[in-house]
Amino acid sequence: MVAVVDGLLLDVRHLDVAYGAATAVRNVSLQVHEGEIVALLGANGAGKTTTLRGIAGLVRPRAGDVRFAGQRITGAPTARVVRAGLAHVPEGRRLAPGLTVEDNLRLGGWGCRRSPEQERLDRVFEYFPRLAERRGQLAGSLSGGEQQMAAIGRALMSDPRLVMIDELSLGLSPVAVDGLLERLVGLNREGLSILLIEQFVHRALAVADRVSVLAKGRVVFTGTPAEAARTRAVESAYLLEERVS
């Protein structure tokens, strides 16, 4: 394991990400320290998903620097990013619906050599007992909450130090979201760092150590949840999106 200087695990500096001629994210900087939950908030279209995709290597950044545990991973292939210890739960889960729950989980651990596969699988089933009950069931037949459990479990199979989760609550009931957040807080207490995109702002603020707010592809606020609430930073970002659009 690479030593983390001053506890800084993920360090993103001046990130630009574009799709063709359209720049979706501009000059974004954010950090996640070891053991932190950081919420990345903003209105639809603010650039949150693109930021995660740029960090994960799914889209090559046009400019900027991404470092993980001191290693430069800017524009690196996704497989290398995962091997470094950074996992990504994409928006919409992206499970293989025709494969079983267990097979989907094992796909997430492909190429991981940090611990035995069965040990990692047993750990995921311990975190999410419902997945153990559904291990032989096709992933496409799961409920929305169970699919999100499977997507998170698949990410955990790579034995990551940090998990980025895009839109945890998409399409889920408030009860399912609360259950998932409770499990994520438990994982965080065990040492997992988390970068979370969440549409239910009050739920994100309740679990986060720090918050970054995006508007029109730029970071417009970074601070604690208390500071975000006091300055109404999230509300201001939503209003900015509406005025510009």
| The one-letter amino acid at 147 | Q
**pLDDT of 2:** 45
Same domain for 34 and 108: no
Pairing mode, strands 193-197 and 37-41: parallel
Same domain for 155 and 119: yes
Give the domain CATH number at 203: 3.40.50.300
Same domain for 74 and 17: yes
**pLDDT of 4:** 53
State the total domains in the chain.
2
Q: 124 lies in a domain?
A: yes
Same domain for 236 and 220: yes
Q: Which residues form the domain of 32?
A: 1-83+163-168+196-245
Dump pLDDT digits (tens) for 50-69: 999 999 999 999 999 999 99
Same domain for 91 and 79: no
Instruction: From 115, 139, 160, give the residue that closes a domain.
Output: 160
Same domain for 144 and 70: no
Q: 181 lies in a domain?
A: no
Q: 179 lies in a domain?
A: no
Q: What interhelical angle do 101-108 and 144-156 show, nearest 10?
A: 30
Instruction: From 160, 177, 206, give the residue that closes a domain.
Output: 160
Dump pLDDT digits (tens) for 126-147: 999 999 999 999 999 999 999 9
**pLDDT of 61:** 93
For residues 117 and 191, what is the distance between their CA atoms, to the nearest angstrom? Answer: 20
Q: 183 lies in a domain?
A: no
Instruction: From 138, 160, 182, give the residue that closes a domain.
Output: 160
Dump pLDDT digits (tens) for 152-201: 999 999 999 999 999 998 888 889 999 999 999 999 999 999 999 998 88
Same domain for 61 and 40: yes
The C-alpha angle with vertex 170 and arms to 223 and 68, in degrees rounded to 5, equals 45
**pLDDT of 229:** 87
Q: 240 lies in a domain?
A: yes
Q: 30 lies in a domain?
A: yes
Same domain for 90 and 78: no
Binned at pLDDT 50, 70 and 90, residue 22 comes out as confident
Q: 107 lies in a domain?
A: yes
For residues 159 and 123, what is the distance between their CA atoms, to the nearest angstrom? Answer: 10
Adjacent-strand bridge partners of 197: 40
Exposed, middle or buried by CB within 10 Å (0-12, 13-18, 19+), for 169? buried
Same domain for 21 and 10: yes
Residue located via tokens 């604690």 = 224
| The one-letter amino acid at 107 | L
Same domain for 134 and 96: yes
Same domain for 107 and 145: yes
Return the higher-pLDDT residue of 116 and 96: 96
Q: 150 lies in a domain?
A: yes
Same domain for 110 and 138: yes
**pLDDT of 239:** 63
